[in-house]
Chains A and B, each alone.
Chain A
């Protein structure tokens, strides 16, 4: 083995070893690296009990209700499997919409998630408004078709 080849082998082994170590550490850290918990995880008591944490999911369509005091907003965060009631007092980000992604920080109080911060999580789709409108229409038509097939009444 030439010295040059030995050096390459050593470096390769070193990088591979480091990559493996880092991979293992990351696996161990995986749970702590999650930026937010899903409503399903909250329902399964996987979220921290006595400290603030974040919940991420979709704002359920039709669930956003402004309270009579004018500043508090109630809405439901869902991951389509479980739902979580959220209360928030403050200014919502521009992209906070029903049916869109949201990440909110706060703590659980008797099953109600009292949020101190609400962030919008937008998706990776970029399109002009006309295209979005057309897609919405197409989806609604599809849904109608599905409904007639599932419930042929």
Chain B
């Protein structure tokens, strides 16, 4: 099922063509540098706006500037998990090789972003709330997210057969999806020390325009970076897993 299917009779763009690791490998290699470049440019612009254009906050003074790294990292930690679970689920349902590799490639980047969100949150909490850490619903569920990433990576690393590792990881990833709405809505559902969302779909943002701009630019930088990192990692995974295939041998120049 995973091998290339015969060309469809309908003359449309064949998405499934890129579902094969062999065709996706050069595509990922071509796209990754662009996303990395976009990430670098947006990051510089976002930090410039965040530190030199955005004004001091009336309540928190300068410590609020941590928001420009904290919020993008926290959003990415959840979004990457959703993407990871999505690819894991697709792999489980359609038994496609590349989907499992995508899920595996996203996990470490998601875990790093989760760590950054927790770390910057602690350094923000100390000067504003008066504590590094509290066990409120928002912080606890975000910590659980880090453990879900660790669990996913550990489980996959523990199983030698990549296809079986993908399946086991996919089940774990899909079960863990329940944690994402819990993180997101925790500040509404329960009393938490963490404040509510400043940016939501339902109401206008409660941030000054330049502050919001800086934050959103950093969010897009984080998006671009995560895509670049995942594409680079999936290329490594493809080479590692398919190293016995003819095309990888030919590519690496190790053909018999």
Partners in one complex: yes
Contact check, B129 vs A119: say whether CB atoms are below 8 A apart.
Answer: yes
**Interface range on chain A: under 10, 10 to 19, 20 to 34, or 35 or more?**
35 or more
Contact check, A121 vs B193: say whether CB atoms are below 8 A apart.
Answer: yes
Q: Could you give, for residues 134-167 of chain B, a 1 whenever the CB lies within 8 Å of some chain A CB and a 0 otherwise? A: 1111000000000000000000000000000000
Q: Known contacts A93-B129, A119-B129: does B137 contact A126 (CB below 8 Å)?
A: no
Stretch at the interface among B28-36, B39-47, B54-62: B54-62
Say if the beta carbon of B93 comes within 8 Å of chain A: yes
- How many residue pairs at the A-B interface have CB separations less than 8 Å? 116
Chain B, 187-206, CB within 8 A of any chain A CB: 189-193, 195-198, 206
Binding site secondary structure of chain B: loop
**Interface range on chain B: under 10, 10 to 19, 20 to 34, or 35 or more?**
35 or more
Contact check, A122 vs B60: say whether CB atoms are below 8 A apart.
Answer: yes
Contact check, A126 vs B208: say whether CB atoms are below 8 A apart.
Answer: yes
CA distance A132 to B19 in the complex (A): 53
Contact check, B128 vs A94: say whether CB atoms are below 8 A apart.
Answer: yes
Contact check, B94 vs A4: say whether CB atoms are below 8 A apart.
Answer: yes
Min CB gap B187→A, angstroms: 9
Say if the beta carbon of A70 comes within 8 Å of chain B: no
Q: Known contacts A8-B93, A22-B178, A93-B130: does B57 contact A126 (CB below 8 Å)?
A: yes
Min CB gap A118→B, angstroms: 7
Say if the beta carbon of A131 comes within 8 Å of chain B: yes
Q: Known contacts A11-B89, A56-B191: does B59 contact A125 (CB below 8 Å)?
A: yes
Contact check, B58 vs A132: say whether CB atoms are below 8 A apart.
Answer: yes
Among A96, A128, A130, A132, residue most surrounded by chain B Cβ atoms (within 10 Å): A128
Binding site secondary structure of chain A: mixed
Q: Known contacts A26-B182, A129-B58: does B128 contact A95 (CB below 8 Å)?
A: yes
Say if the beta carbon of B226 comes within 8 Å of chain A: no
Contact check, A18 vs B178: say whether CB atoms are below 8 A apart.
Answer: yes
Contact check, B60 vs A35: say whether CB atoms are below 8 A apart.
Answer: no
Contact check, B129 vs A120: say whether CB atoms are below 8 A apart.
Answer: yes
Which one, B58, B174, B206, contacts A124 given CB within 8 A?
Answer: B206
Residues of A within 8 A of B128 (CB): 93-95, 120, 122
Min CB gap A76→B, angstroms: 19
Say if the beta carbon of B175 comes within 8 Å of chain A: yes
CA distance A7 to B189 in the complex (A): 34
Min CB gap B215→A, angstroms: 9
CA distance A35 to B195 in the complex (A): 12
Min CB gap B170→A, angstroms: 9
Chain A, 76-97, CB within 8 A of any chain B CB: 92-96
Residues of B within 8 A of A100 (CB): 59
Say if the beta carbon of A33 comes within 8 Å of chain B: yes
Residues of A within 8 A of B55 (CB): 128-130
Which one, B59, B174, B197, B211, contacts A122 given CB within 8 A?
Answer: B59
Say if the beta carbon of B239 comes within 8 Å of chain A: no
17 more contacts with CB within 8 A, not counting A4-B95, A117-B131, A128-B208, are: A11-B89, A18-B175, A19-B178, A33-B190, A34-B191, A35-B135, A37-B191, A95-B59, A119-B129, A119-B130, A120-B129, A124-B195, A125-B198, A128-B57, A129-B55, A129-B58, A132-B58
Of all A-B residue pairs in the complex, the 8 with the closest CB atoms, nearest first, are A93-B130, A132-B58, A128-B55, A35-B136, A124-B198, A126-B207, A129-B58, A124-B195
* Interface, chain A (partner B; CB < 8 A): 4, 7-8, 11, 14-15, 18-19, 22, 26, 30, 33-38, 56, 92-96, 100, 103, 117-133
Give 16 A-B contacts (CB < 8 Å), ordered by A residue. Answer: A11-B93, A15-B177, A18-B175, A22-B178, A35-B192, A56-B193, A94-B61, A95-B60, A119-B131, A121-B193, A122-B129, A124-B197, A126-B59, A126-B64, A126-B206, A128-B208
